[in-house]
């Protein structure tokens, strides 16, 4: 299973987002010194979840990181750009 699919499945189940965009940006980092060359190492995630209502930005990032901890620690994901919003918040 691809890293993107694992991320999507885990985040959908745990955080029940109303929007989840996952973009694999690994090709933008191919050949960089720290890139593992797997094609599944750099991701950008935009997630909107009612579970983020009333939670600080840092808290939201912690929630996401907790859900995908295995992928971050052992799954070869080197970099993650994360934008997390509650419904109704302006996406920016």
Q: Can you name the residues that pair with 48 across neighbouring β-strands?
A: 19, 85
pLDDT at position 41, please? 83
Q: How confident is the model at residue 77 (pLDDT cuts 50, 70, 90)?
A: confident
Structural domain includes residue 9: yes
Structural domain includes residue 62: yes
Is the pLDDT at 8 greater than 80, yes or no? yes
Is the pLDDT at 89 greater than 70, yes or no? yes
Is the pLDDT at 64 greater than 60, yes or no? yes
Provide CB contacts within 8 A for 48, sequence distance 6+: 17, 18, 19, 20, 84, 85, 86, 87, 89, 91
Structural domain includes residue 90: no
Structural domain includes residue 91: no
Backbone torsions φ then ψ of 48, nearest 5 degrees: -120, 120
Mean pLDDT, the chain, rounded, equals 89
pLDDT at position 39, please? 63
CATH number at residue 20: 3.30.300.90
pTM comes to 0.86
């Amino acid at each position: 299973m691809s890293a993107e699919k694992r991320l999507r499945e885990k985040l959908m189940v745990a955080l029940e987002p109303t929007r989840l965009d996952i973009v694999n940006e690994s090709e933008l980092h191919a050949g960089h010194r720290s890139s593992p060359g797997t094609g599944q190492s750099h991701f950008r995630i935009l997630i909107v979840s009612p579970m983020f209502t009333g939670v600080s930005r840092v808290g939201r990032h912690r929630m996401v990181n907790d859900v995908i901890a295995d992928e971050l620690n052992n799954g070869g994901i080197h970099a993650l750009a994360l934008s997390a919003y509650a419904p109704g918040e302006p996406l920016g």
